[in-house]
Structure 1
Amino acid sequence: MSTDQQTGHATEAGAPFDGRAAIEALMVAPGPPALGSAYQAMTEELRGFLDVLAGAAIDTEHAARLRAQLAQMTSRLRGLEVGEPQRLWGHWTDRPGRGQALIPSYDVPKGSLEASATVTFGRFHVGENMAVHGGAISMLFDDLLGWLLARSDLPPSRTAFLTTNFRAVTPVGVELTVHARITHVEGRKRFLAAELRHGDTVCADAEGLWVELRPGQP
């Protein structure tokens, strides 16, 4: 067995990274519960830092001080880097936020064919005028729909396309409701849809296609 030096993916005799195995592995926590709690608390603190930074008008002195502090932390973490299968970031799939700060945190949905969750976007995801950036909304849809598929009895799949329609301004800092559902399955194709609401207002909706991965396919 060797390791891809760019991705950190383990390979067997030069074989490509197995995407199905990687997605199936996400259903198992990457560490004990105590570590999961500590990692979740850390990433929530990071999420709060990014929101505050996005809304702060700092001066030159603050910028220089933060850069130095971040550089120190980066240096300490470099010695702890691991390959993709061993990383913790985003792999706590049984916890809100999954231990990452890219996608806004939402409770892990319980449905198998459809599910709803609440979500609040912070200022880290703002576009302009306190409205959520459209790309952040699409990321949320992609993440939630992919998670719904992962919880179903269907084999692992990857996004083929995702179309997002922006119906109204999505506000920052307020609780929103997102609903996702698997609409139908045709062979290896899985068709899904989602909707993001602020009260009775539809802020955005989406429809997408996921395609089942073949064994050994990255």
Structure 2
Amino acid sequence: MTTTPFAEHPARLTRELIHTLVSEKDDGPLAEHVAFIAEKLAAAAADPAKIVLDDPHPQRSHIAHDITPASSARNPIAPPMDIRWNGDESRCSLTLPLQYQGPPGRVHGGIVALMLDHVLGNAANSGGVPRAFTRYLNVLYDAATPVGEPLVITGRVTKEEGRKRFLEGEVTCHGEVRVKAEGLWIQAKDS
């Protein structure tokens, strides 16, 4: 399943709606923005072939036909992750908007774990190796991961033993490590 400009467009509008729902406190402006988004959706649905995106989400993922809640351009709850292979590690730079907040001003810990699992999974499955899946992921939250600040998430394979791939990674903000993770990915038996 390839993400077309039409499929990505309503997902982006839905993300915009989600952001408005969690950030707008007054019903009047909220209603105006909902109507504005509804008009954009109706216009797109009237002629899907006319949708053009200036900056389409890259189709890079270790998951074929990505519809995951971690990185899919088609899935409106997915954080805006663009994971790239950089030397010997997977790397993602992003800034998370308010809808990913848990405690005030902080990214929800489950979202942080989701992003780490996805970036480490990308590292475990890069380079044409047989597919491996998460066996466990340990996450150590050293400091708050702020909403609205630039984050860098990295992951790398540290050791391989047969079908096992051991990984580690971290989330940094302004060069400071906020969260560390280590885990084990296991190659599927039928690979």
- Provide the TM-score with structure 1 as the length reference: 0.64
CA distance in 1, matches of 2:122, 2:14: 23
Count of residues paired in the alignment: 162
Match of 2:67 in 1: 89
Alignment correspondent of 1:25: none
Deviations 1:1-34 (A, max 9, x none): xxxxxxxxxxxxxxxxxxxxxxxxxxxxx23xxx
2:145 is matched with which residue: 150, 163, 170?
A: 170
* 2:20 aligned residue: 52
* TM-aligned CA deviation for residue 87 of structure 1: 7.4
Q: Could you tell me whether the CA contact under 8 Å between 2:165 and 2:186 is conserved in 1?
A: yes
Distance 1:87 1:111, change over 3 A: closer
Moved over 4 A (4+): none
Distance 2:26 2:135 in 1: 41
What's the secondary structure of 1:116's corresponding residue?
A: strand
**Structure 2 runs not aligned, ≥5 long:** 42-63
Q: Over aligned residue pairs, what C-alpha RMSD do you find?
A: 3.1
Specify every segment of 5 or more residues in structure 1 that has no aligned partner in the other structure, as ranges.
Answer: 1-29, 74-85
State the Cα distance separating 1:51 from its structure 2 match. 2.0
1:40 correspondence with 2:8: yes
Shift of residue 39, structure 1, vs aligned partner? 2.2
Shift of 1:152: 2.5
1:103/1:136 contact within 8 Å kept: no
Distance in 2 (CA, whole Å) between partners of 1:59 and 1:174 is 28
Q: Secondary structure at the match of 2:155?
A: strand
The alignment status of 1:119 with 2:94, answered yes or no, reads yes
2:136 to 135, 146, 161: 161
Counterpart selection for 2:175 from 189, 194, 200? 200
What TM-score does the superposition give when structure 2 sets the normalisation length?
Answer: 0.72
Which one has the bigger strand percentage?
2
User: What letter corresponds to residue 204 of structure 1 in structure 2?
Assistant: V
One-letter amino acid of the counterpart of residue 123, structure 1: L
Q: Is the 8 A contact 2:90 2:122 kept in 1?
A: no
Q: Which residue of 1 aligns with 2:124?
A: 149
Distance 1:97 1:119 in 2: 14
Q: CA separation in 1, counterparts of 2:120 and 2:66?
A: 21
Asked if the contact 1:109–1:116 (Cα under 8 Å) also holds between the matched residues in 2, the reply is yes
Please give the alpha-carbon distance, in whole angstroms, between the structure 1 residues aligned to 2:87 and 2:5. 25
Which of 111, 117, 120 is the equivalent residue of 1:136? 111
CA distance in 1 between counterparts of 2:160 and 2:87 reads 14
